[in-house]
Amino acid sequence: MVEVGKNILRFSFFILLQVTIIRHLDLGSYFNPFLFVGAILMLPIRINKTLVLIIAFATGLIIDMFYNTMGMNAAACTFMAFCRPRVLKVFAPAGDYNGDATATVNSMGIRWMISYAGALIFIHHLVLFYLETFSLHDFFTTLLKVILSGVSTLILFLITQSLLFRNP
Amino acid sequence: MYGIIAFFRRFYFSLLFIALEIISIAFVVTNNYYHEAGYFNSSNRIAGTVYRTYSGVTSYFSLQSVNRQLAEENAQLLNAESKTKDTSTYKKGTLTNPFGQQYNFMLAEVIDNSTNLPNNYLTLRAGSEEGIGEGMGVISPAGIVGIVVKTSSRYSVVMSLLHQKTMVSAMFKKSGTFGSLSWDNNKDYRFATLNQIPMSEKIKQGDTIVTSGFSTIFPKGIMVGTVDNFKAIPELYFYTVHIKLSTDFKNIRYVYVVNTIEKIEKDSLERAAQNALNDKVK
């Protein structure tokens, strides 16, 4: 029960941070961090994957509401949640995850975090940015946006973790 | 029957994923084509309240520039008034321009705005209760801003000029040669493109571009920007002109929503015609 409350708090924190502060960072059109995906990334590793799918869809819809991008974030987050079990499997440590492992730097180490978060953030941004442009017209411009925004999301995510979620 | 249940049990994760993706994409597509569809936008109460609170805090930081803008606009209005000296055209918030079109201007506060996304929107703290309706033009003291696409009772969402779908008819102030203005660079909030200007036009850097008034969304002669550079497309006998926008999209706090009185007349006439037609069919 405590765990559920913690997760709800974390989601509220990430969503509010995204729509009030990150959205107004204004680093130019190539750097659009979507830090709120961090809330989905930080769900417990052993959580039911169907639940992740539904949570991601709902979170995406809430962000869409604030960004006026109806359905785009929902699609991107759902896709990310769909890929999550596979990514977890690929980057699993020798002898699989411990029973109480959480998706934090403290628990899993910085290298694991960069590869796990990096892969999923890239997947999310890829779907989102191409849906947003809705064409392959500026293919490479959009790809550059995906990469640069993805890197900025990852950096912000790592900073947030080191500042606020030090205790596992 | 047993086979079907077994199939669902085996693939429910992928099936749920596909279902959710279809719902999302359906939202994207319907939202792209039908502006009325969808409640999930920033004109709803939750998003509106968050943005209003945020804006309440941050608006203090821009008071200085807002003051300056208002002072500049005051000066412009004073100049315009001293030039015309004919007060008969101004009556109670209504303005008749020389072409006989009438407009209402409604002041609205911007509580949210973005410039760095491929499709940008503004959220206004004024909605249908204040008389704002979908399809109305939005201008700032410096120039055009966008078009209202969604309204709730207290908030409205404006499709910024910085949006891939925004198209505005604009013309050269000096000659009246017109083209369609769009934001097709997707990157820089300071520039837009004016397409399909015939090569017969003598373009100079710094030429003023204003709205043409061909649609009833914007009045004629609202400032758009100035010519930054231009490129010839010889095979089409057209120029593509890059415009430096006069509106500073990063710094918009107050805007005017333009309601064309002619538009109300036109719309109600069209509706009446439609109804009459329907009656006849019955």
**Using CB atoms, which residue from B28, B46, B47 is nearest to A70?**
B28
**Using CB atoms, which residue from B17, B118, B188 is nearest to A82?**
B17
A65–B42 C-beta distance less than 8 A:
yes
Domains of chain A in sequence order:
2-164 (1.10.1760)
Euclidean distance between CA atoms B114 and B120, whole angstroms: 6
Euclidean distance between CA atoms B9 and A14, whole angstroms: 34
Euclidean distance between CA atoms B258 and B107, whole angstroms: 9
Residue A116 has pLDDT above 90, yes or no: yes
Q: Hey, what are A29's tokens? A: 């059109």
CB B238 within 8 A of CB B198: yes
Let me know if residue B268 belongs to a domain.
no
State mean pLDDT over B181-198.
86
Determine the residue among B32, B53, B114, B116 to mutate to test chain A binding: the one whose Cβ has the most chain A Cβ atoms within 10 Å: B116
- Among the ranges given (B85-94, B97-106, B164-173, B183-192), the one the predictor scored with the smallest mean pLDDT: B85-94
CB A71 within 8 A of CB B26: yes
Phi first, then psi, for residue A71 (nearest 5°) are 85, -20
CB B150 within 8 A of CB B156: yes
Report which of B113, B111, B93 is spatially closest to residue B102, judged by C-alpha positions: B93
Report which of A37, A38, A39 is spatially closest to residue A7, judged by C-alpha positions: A39
Residue B152 has pLDDT above 50, yes or no: yes
The tens digit of pLDDT for each residue in A6-29 reads 889 999 999 999 988 888 887 888
* Same domain assignment for residues B153 and B215: yes
ipTM score assigned to the predicted complex:
0.86
Let me know if residue B277 belongs to a domain.
no
Number of compact structural domains in chain B: 2
CB B20 within 8 A of CB A50: no
Residue A78 has pLDDT above 90, yes or no: yes
With an 8 Å Cβ cutoff, the interface of chain A facing chain B consists of 16, 19-20, 23-24, 26-32, 49-50, 53-54, 57, 60-61, 64-72, 74-75, 78-79, 81-82, 129, 131-134, 138, 141
pTM of the model: 0.77
A69–B20 C-beta distance less than 8 A:
no
State mean pLDDT over B64-90.
65
Distances (CA, A) of A130 to A3, A62, A72, B163, B186: 35, 20, 9, 15, 13
Let me know if residue B272 belongs to a domain.
no
Q: List CB contacts of B275: < 8 A, sequence separation 6 or more.
A: none
State mean pLDDT over B24-44.
67
The tens digit of pLDDT for each residue in B108-140 reads 889 988 888 888 899 998 888 888 888 899 998
pLDDT of residue B91: 41
CB B217 within 8 A of CB B136: yes
**Does B24 contact chain A (CB < 8 Å)?**
yes
The tens digit of pLDDT for each residue in B233-261 reads 888 888 889 999 999 998 888 888 988 77
Q: For chain A, give the mean pLDDT.
A: 89
* Same domain assignment for residues B107 and B29: no
* Same domain assignment for residues B253 and B174: yes
Residue B48: closest CA among chain A residues belongs to which residue?
Answer: A66
Phi first, then psi, for residue B153 (nearest 5°) are -65, -30
A138–B24 C-beta distance less than 8 A:
no
* Same domain assignment for residues B77 and B146: yes
B186–A53 C-beta distance less than 8 A:
no
What is the domain extent for residue B21? Answer: 1-33
